[in-house]
Structure formats: C-alpha cells, structure tokens
Amino acid sequence: MSAHPKRKSYQCSVCFKAFTTNSYLNTHLKVHTGEKPYLCSFCQTGFKQRAHLVNHIRIHTGEKPFKCSLCIKDFKRNESLVNHMKVHTGEKPYYAGALGDFKDRSDLITHMRLFRRKKKYKCTVCQKEFANKPYLSIHMRLHTREKPYQCTVCFKDFARKHHLMLHERVHTGEKPFQCTVCLKDFTQKPHLVLHMRLHRKEKPYRCTECLKDFTQKPHLVLHMRVHTGEKPFQCLVCLKAFSDKSALVSHGKLHTGEKPYDCPDCSKSFIRSSHLVHHMRSHTGKKPYHCSDCGKDFQEKSNLISHMRVHTEDKPHHCSVCEKGFKYKSALVSHMRVHTGEKPYHCSLCLKDFSCKSTLVSHTRLHTGEKPYVCCKCQKSFSSSSGLVYHMKVHARNPT
C-alpha cells in the first residue's frame, strides 16, 4: 500500500507556492525578503538557512566529516558522499532514455546540455563551446599562453592557481597526505589514492580482451594498444610510430643526440632517467631484486623474472610450429631457425654460416686458436665450455 502524499496547506502570499509545513514556508519567504540571518564568523557571508552556513564553514576549517567506508576519500557534505558511493556500487539512478544512465543529477544535467547543444560560451579562436564562462576563461589561456599565477621562489608560471599550489610543495617539501599503512607521504591526494591500491591489491581497471587488471586507467588505455596495435605518436623525423608519448620523447633524443641524465661517478650520459638508475648500480653494486627461493640478488627486475623460471620450470614462450616451450624468448628465436633454416651469423674467415651467435664464437676459436676454458685440475684448456665439461668427467671417473 502506498503512502498518501502530504497536503500542501501553507501557501506563499507573494508567489502562491505551497508547502507541507509552516517552517518550509518561513524558509521560502526569505527568498522574497532577501533576509540572510546566518552569518559566517570568518568572512561575514550571510545565508538563509543554518545548514547552508554549516556547509560553508567547512571551506574555512577544511573539515570533511563524511568518510567513504570503501576508500580513503572524505567529503564536506553528506550529499557528496552519497554521490561518490555510486562509483563503488555502479548505481545510475538518473535515466535519460536513449541518452544513457547517470550516477547523479548534476551529471545528467551536464550531459543534457551536451546533447541539446546548450553551450552559451564559445571560444572565438577554435569555436569550442563551454557550458559556463569560467571554463571558457581557463580554455582561452591555451591560445593566449597566459599564465597569471607565478611561483615566488623559482618564478615559474602557471595557467591555473591549483597547479601553482601543487608546485609550491616542491619548494616547501609539504606532503600533507599520508598512507596509514606504510606512513609514506604524498604531495597530492590522488597519488595517495593510487598508492593505497598497492596495499589493497586493488586493480579496478580490467582489459576486456585478456582480462588483465590495472591499478590506473591510463595504464589500461596504454595496454589496450597491445591488442589494437594503435601507435598514435609519430616521430616527425623518421616517421616511426609509438604507442605512448614518453617512448616518442625518448626516441626523439636519438635524433637530437641529447642525453640529459649524467652519471655523477663517471662521464657517461643517458637518454632516460631509468637508464641512469640502472647504470648507477654498476657503481654501487646494489642488487635490489631478491629471489625468495634461493636468495640470489639481481640488479634488474627482468633478470629476476627470468631467473625465477629456474625454480618454477615455467616456459612461457612456445614454438608455433612444434609447440616446444622455452624459458626465454631468445631461446625461442634461436629454435625457430631449426624450422626456417636461417643462419644469420657468418664466419669472416671461412664464410661458414651458423644459426646461433654462440656457435659462431666457438667456431671462430678454431681459427684463432683461443682456448679460454681451463681445467682447474690439470690446466688443460678448451675452446668451448662444453669441451671442458666433457673433460671434467675424466677427473670424476679417476679422482686420483
């Protein structure tokens, strides 16, 4: 049984709008009288309702009493928390027919403006339209190159005040957002939110092709290009295309010869900061990647991953012809030459061809006479490691 709607017995004498209670009518009458009896003690701004003043005060105090129970986000208003929870539940209660569903009413209204083309403010340069004037003003700075907000320390300029505020933390060292698990500090809240996913093992973005999960949406977008083959970033010099912008930027340095990352211990320079980090380990001897099975340490993560296959017997690289599996991709590449008959390595002395580089190296020693593998028992030397291994069996059979 449905409840009966309440009667609206209280009518405004000015606009004749009706209300269910006298208190609602009294609140409404302030629209006509202009009365704002609730004053902010910080900035003296007046409000018609006490609840509006309470919400406003939080702008000054920074208080955000409404906390999400699923993530670390907090909010000044309960309504904002309710809307945020729809991100977790997937609820979209606002329906617009063929236009789709929306989590909150403001999203629906904004979308309806897009659909109906109700954008009053147009850019005079590129004709792009905006729903309100502040968005247009910010957009215009792209064309004018205007950056009205300047850092007082390094004089760097910014187009938005918020970007300046974040930049100033570089100088102050301020990191106001702390992880409650490992106590790591961050300059921006979004960085903390992403970091928390590492602790929760949360990966909310899933690839629809291979079902691989990601902690960040940009990582998923980049990954999808593996499936689509899309490479939207092209080098203007050699026309080589790349799937992400950072790879294009690094590639561009090959043409310019720029190597901005210098090793402080030697004169070597690098195109990428990550290459410098890896190089520095040759000086420090640091091996940060540790095998949990045998305790062996590695300088590179990729080397640890390859090493782990010794313990797991994992062979992820399979021959498309005979289905034989290999631990390393390089081993698969060499194996494929059995099927193709390719022998890309040539001896410059006798012109004999080989399918593997290591076989060519061993063969070359027949010409040079080099025998780098020495028996520790009898000092006999060999041109290949396999020759030494076979020889050591003689000593194993005759230990005396």
What would the DSSP string read from start to end of 250-281? HHHHHHH----EE-SSSS-EESSHHHHHHHHH
CA pair distance 245, 251, nearest whole angstrom: 10
Go through the domains of the chain in sequence order and give each one's CATH number: 1-63 (3.30.160.60), 205-286 (3.30.160.60)
Using DSSP's 3-state secondary structure scheme, residue 384 falls into coil
Considering the entire predicted model, what is its pTM?
Answer: 0.41
Enumerate the H helices of the chain as residue ranges: 22-33, 50-61, 78-89, 105-116, 133-144, 161-172, 189-200, 217-228, 245-256, 273-284, 301-312, 329-340, 357-368, 385-397
**Rounded CA separation 98/81 (Å):** 28
**110 phi/psi in degrees, rounded to 5:** -60, -45
Please enumerate in sequence order all residues whose Cβ is within 8 A of that of 234, keeping only pairs 6 or more positions apart, or say none: 240, 241, 242, 248
How would you write the pLDDT of the chain (400 residues) with one tens digit per residue? 445 566 778 888 888 888 888 888 888 888 888 888 888 888 888 888 888 888 888 877 878 888 877 766 787 778 777 777 766 666 655 454 444 565 566 666 666 655 555 567 889 989 888 877 888 888 888 898 888 889 888 888 998 888 898 888 888 888 888 888 888 888 888 888 888 888 888 888 899 888 888 888 888 999 999 899 899 999 998 999 999 888 898 898 889 888 888 999 888 898 888 888 888 888 988 888 888 889 899 888 888 888 888 888 888 888 988 989 888 888 888 899 889 999 999 999 898 998 888 888 889 988 999 999 999 988 999 888 888 889 988 888 877 6
Rounded to an integer, what distance in angstroms lies between the CA atom of residue 131 and that of residue 349? Answer: 75
Give phi and psi for 166, each to the nearest 5: -65, -40
